[in-house]
Structures are given as C-alpha cells and as structure tokens.
Amino acid sequence: MSYDDVRARLNLLAVLPNLEDVVRDDAEMRALVSGTRLTIWFSVVGGLSTGVRFAGGVCTVGPDHGPPVAAGGPGAAAGPGPTVRLAFISAAHLNNMFDGASQPIPLWGFNHLGFLKKEFTELSDRMAYYLTPSDELLSHSGYLAMNTLLTLNTAVFAVPVLLGHDSDCMPLRHELTQGTVVIKVLPDGPAVSLVCGASGVIPVKGELPHPSALVLLRDLPTANAFLNGKLDTFAAAVTGDVQIWGRVSMIDALALVLDRVPKYLTPAAEPAATA
C-alpha cells in the first residue's frame, strides 16, 4: 500500500476521531454544534470511508456508529439525521484536504454546505490547534491536558491501521494476537486500550479492566513528553515515571508500531480537515 493510502487511513481513522473529544471537552465547540443534527460522510474512491455525526451536542466518528468507547468514555452514538456526502478521487486528494491544499467534491446535502464552511471548519481548526503544540501552549494546564488526550487517541487509533497496511509493522502483528493493552496517565487518566484478537486489533477510548499489558505514566507532563518523543524512556522506567506491567512483549511491539506514526503524520498530527 502506498504512502498516501496509509496516510489517508490515518487521517480518517486516527486523527478525525479526535473531533469527539474536542466537542465534549471544549465548551465553546460544544455550544457551536449543540443545535446541529447532521452526518458528514467522507468517501475516497476505492472504498475508504467514515462519518462524522452531530446530535444533541455530541459528536461521534466512525464508519458505522462510531469507534468503540470504554465505560465512561465520550458520548453515545449521535444517530442519523441529514447527510452531507463528500467525495475524494484519491487518497492524495484526501490528504491534501487535511493539509488545507484542496477541497472535497460535494455529492449530497448541498443545503448544509454552510455548516461545512463555517461551524465544521471552526471545529476542525480547533482540533488542529490542540494537535499542534508549542512549548508556550504546553505551559498552560488546560492545553497540556487536551493535547495529551488527543495525541494519545491518535496514537492508539493509528495502531490497527499500521499493523494492517505498513510493511514494517505487519510482522509485529504476531505479538498482538491475544489480550488487552492499556496506556493510562496517572492518577485519573486519560487512558486508551487496545483489544487484540485473532481477527484484528481494536482501539478503545478509555481504560478496560484486567489488561494483559499495562503502561502507567506518572502525570500529564510525563505522558506528553512520552507521546511526543521527548522522554528518555529507559531513564523514565528507572525513576518510575513510566511503569510497565504484564506482557512486556506486547508493549515492545506496540512501541515499534508507534515509532512509525511520525513517518505519516507530524509528531502532533496533521492539520485537521476543512471543507
């Protein structure tokens, strides 16, 4: 699979789901879409597609009813409602849109294009803001928390994409065939999980019980440095800033997969989609 094909999957399946958390945790963005009941469907020639749904001040992203959520995770499915269909002639076309260099082809729902140009663009820009950190922004606790959450989400949702489509990651699949991996920021999260089975690896927002392997990060600054490649993980393991429990082979494989994410996305993530 080409670079553009893998990157398009990451943009749709790993970056875009962060819209859920921006709507849930940013009061201004939640108010912006509180009265919206709408589904925006992204489709790339060749079969890659996903939907972004808004209803009742909740956003869900996924090919059907949105990605899995652990108990206590972000909102319920937003339901149906009117649909806007956006088409892309290739993976490169989609990636260019995420980079702000091209526009989608609207196929359906023309009377809702105003929402795409205004509210959805504003929401996407806010997600991009949270995913593009600077030292100054990270000095603010609220921004640090949101950037850490979204970066953690992007990382875990990138795993099944890379295991299935990146040639360097495919051989690592044999270490992730059975069990659950949890990555958690102490003391109270955020956390993400990976459910590994013979049929695939499923990312989950939230902490699942009884993991086979567990990574605990001391606090938000430690987690942020860890996720952005600014932490000496060996030294952090010695000091206890990073704790690893359970099946270390699963963690080792996962770390190798996550090392591939910057090949396709910047360490924080590509700019968000705009319509």
5-32 residue pLDDT tens = 999 999 999 999 999 999 999 999 999 9
Which ranges in the chain are annotated with CATH 3.30.1050.10? 141-264
Can you name the CATH fold of 3-130? Answer: Nonspecific Lipid-transfer Protein; Chain A (3.30.1050)
CA dihedral 147, 38, 107, 126 (to 10 degrees): -20
Full DSSP string of 55-87 = ETTEEEEESSS-S-B-TT-S--------EEEEE
CATH number of 141-264: 3.30.1050.10
Single-letter amino acid, residue 153: N
Give the pTM.
Answer: 0.88
Q: What is the pLDDT of residues 193-218, one digit of tens each?
A: 999 998 899 999 999 999 999 999 99
User: pLDDT tens across 126-151, in order?
Assistant: 999 999 999 999 999 999 999 999 99
Confidence band (pLDDT; 50, 70, 90) for 64?
A: low
99 touches 271 (CB < 8 A): yes
Distance from the first to the final alpha carbon of the chain: 26
**Beta carbons within 8 Å of 212's beta carbon, 6+ residues apart:** 178, 179, 180, 181, 196, 246, 247, 250
pLDDT of residue 70: 54
Q: What are the tens digits of pLDDT across the range 245-265? A: 999 999 999 999 999 999 999
* Short-list 67, 57, 25, CA closest to 189: 25
